[in-house]
Amino acid sequence: MILFHPDFIRGHDIYSRIKKYSFFSYAVNEALHLSPNEEALIAKIINNISDECQNGHDEFSRDIILAQLSALLSYAERFIVASLRSEVSHNRLFSTNSLPALMRFVSSKKKRPPLMKYPPSWE
């Protein structure tokens, strides 16, 4: 699971795009199944995000993380559209029990303290 503070995506096109993704409201029995290749691709993107978060932050880190997150969301949307055409695959991408709460959290206007310290250029 990838969690991020809403302030991290605020000001980026992901912030407005995230509301259009219908898969955040799916029920558990509607979880997406992935082929082994699709699963490997998603795992690679998640590892890229994790690696970037673990490495020292610089002026490029936020853009790199957001680009990876954007790619993850785009691939998820692609895989969902493809799965609507045919049902083939073995592993779930999302378990959606907590996603409605996550969406309420992301879309709330309440000011929250940052979860990670950003370089001043990120704020």
Expressed in angstroms, the distance from the first to the final Cα of the chain is 24
The pLDDT, as a whole number, for residue 70 is 92
Nearest CA among 120, 81, 110, 90 for reference residue 6: 110
Write down the residue that tokens 């000001």 correspond to. 11
The pLDDT, as a whole number, for residue 113 is 52
The pLDDT, as a whole number, for residue 22 is 67
pLDDT of the chain, 123 residues: tens digit per residue: 778 888 888 888 888 888 777 666 666 666 677 889 999 999 999 999 999 988 878 899 999 999 999 999 899 888 887 877 754 433 344 444 555 666 666 666 666 555 554 454 554
Q: Domain segments of the chain: what residues?
A: 6-109
* Structure-token pair, residue 22: 């219908």
